[in-house]
Amino acid sequence: MVLLAAGCIGVVLLPFLLAPGAFAAVFPYSLICGSGSSGIAGEAILQGAGGENGTASIPEPLTDDERLEALIASASVPLLELSIGQIYSAHTHDDAALRDRAGEIHALAGSLRADALALDVSPEKAPARSDFVVALDEFIMAGTLSGGGAPRNRSAMDEALDHLILGAELLSGAIQGFNTPPAGDSDAGSAPMNLMAESAPLFPDALQIGERFCFDDAGGANSGSLFVNGVRTLQSFYTVGQKPQNYVTEPGKSFLLVAIRATHLGHKGDGTNYRLQIPRESAFTLHFMGETYRPISSPGPTSRGESYSGGALGRHESTSGYLFFEVPEGFDPSHAFIEVSIGGSRPVWSLAGRG
């Protein structure tokens, strides 16, 4: 398992080390220096890849899309290097180094996650941001599992390494998400996004409500399925338990609840990892008429049913719950789609059937 994790992360890291020019072509905004906690959020000096004679200059203010590019570029190598160090520490059974690197991964990924979510990126770059945020969630979970003072057994370390592998894969997907032609190169020109959405289906091959998407985990040891099970709208709900909390929409808005069900279909191979990582709520994106929406943080058990929060499933276990979105009042699900990032795949469901 340790060698597999090192190999997977090494494949992602290798192009950055051997072909920095290709990396610069994808990310023209390279970080020179910064004073913020994570570099990008602070007052950073950024230089375009085409600067004359290699001299630094102060460019025009960056858009949030460009800031996201720079954030991913500055984070990728440190995260992967820390992951390799974490794998080496697990291999050599160096618990002190394991805890130290776990804390560094957790702190770095948490800071980057907050910075990424604070950016107002365009719909075209929302999938790349989604991959980046979900990748950071995996690194955070890996740091949590391998940190602390409790003894680490084989199962816990295998699960932490699975999170590192998946995080590296998703990080690679976020990088590739920026290696796409500019929107201005298409024949659509400057047509309003909502008119484009009306003229042609955004996802012509979208799955229907109740239709399953099957997938393997990063190591190929476990198989699972995921599907959208239904949709409903409402104006308010409350959590249940010892300290109930009311959730009421702002004027002109409503809540859209999308039911998700995930199942661990089985284990294959000779490995000892029987846990299947399923996407967290941050991996989902709602598309509607050219706009994108992210689910609110899982509120827990509610008066309308359980929340979906993702995580890990044992063999043949299932979980289901709602994703909660805040959308404009009068939102029509028949024109909406829900997309999720699972490893290198991005299945999409049409909400037209409502379920």
Burial class of residue 55 (count of CB atoms within 10 Å of its CB; 0-12, 13-18, 19+): exposed
What residue has token string 């037209």?
352
Residues 15 and 153 in one domain: yes
Q: What is the domain-level CATH number for residue 287?
A: 2.60.40.1240
Residues 249 and 109 in one domain: no
Cβ–Cβ < 8 Å for 175, 155: no
In a domain, 189, yes or no: no
In a domain, 188, yes or no: no
Residues 200 and 79 in one domain: no
Residues 113 and 199 in one domain: no
Tokens of 238: 């409350």
| Phi–psi pair at 86, nearest 5 degrees | -65, -40
In a domain, 143, yes or no: yes
| Phi–psi pair at 348, nearest 5 degrees | -130, 140
Residues 107 and 212 in one domain: no
Domain count, the chain: 2
Residues 163 and 285 in one domain: no
In a domain, 190, yes or no: no
Residues 177 and 200 in one domain: no
Residue 287 has a pLDDT of 93
Inter-helix orientation angle 126-146/64-92, to 10°: 30
Residues 139 and 207 in one domain: no
Angle ∠(114,173,48) on CA atoms, nearest 5: 70
Angle ∠(143,148,149) on CA atoms, nearest 5: 150
In a domain, 296, yes or no: yes
Residues 17 and 45 in one domain: yes
Residues 147 and 231 in one domain: no
User: At which of 159, 182, 205 does a domain end?
Assistant: 182
In a domain, 280, yes or no: yes
Residues 93 and 201 in one domain: no
What does each of the 355 residues of the chain score in pLDDT, given as a tens digit? 444 444 444 544 444 444 444 444 444 544 433 333 444 433 343 444 444 454 555 556 788 888 888 888 887 788 878 878 877 777 787 777 777 887 888 888 888 888 888 888 887 777 778 778 877 887 888 777 766 554 455 666 667 777 777 777 777 767 765 654 444 444 433 334 443 344 345 788 899 999 999 999 877 888 999 999 999 998 899 998 778 889 998 889 999 999 999 999 998 877 778 888 898 888 899 999 888 999 998 888 998 889 998 888 988 899 999 999 999 988 889 889 999 988 778 999 999 876 5
Distance, CA of 31 to CA of 48 (rounded, Å) = 9
Residue 332's domain comprises 195-350
Residue 264 has a pLDDT of 94
Residues 35 and 132 in one domain: yes
- For 14-26, the DSSP string reads HHHHH-HHHHHHH
pTM (two decimals): 0.56
In a domain, 187, yes or no: no
Please name every residue paired with 262 in a beta bridge, in sequence order, or none if there are none: 226, 319
User: At which of 147, 182, 217 does a domain end?
Assistant: 182
Tokens of 311: 């995580």
User: At which of 133, 151, 182 does a domain end?
Assistant: 182
In a domain, 199, yes or no: yes
Distance, CA of 105 to CA of 82 (rounded, Å) = 7
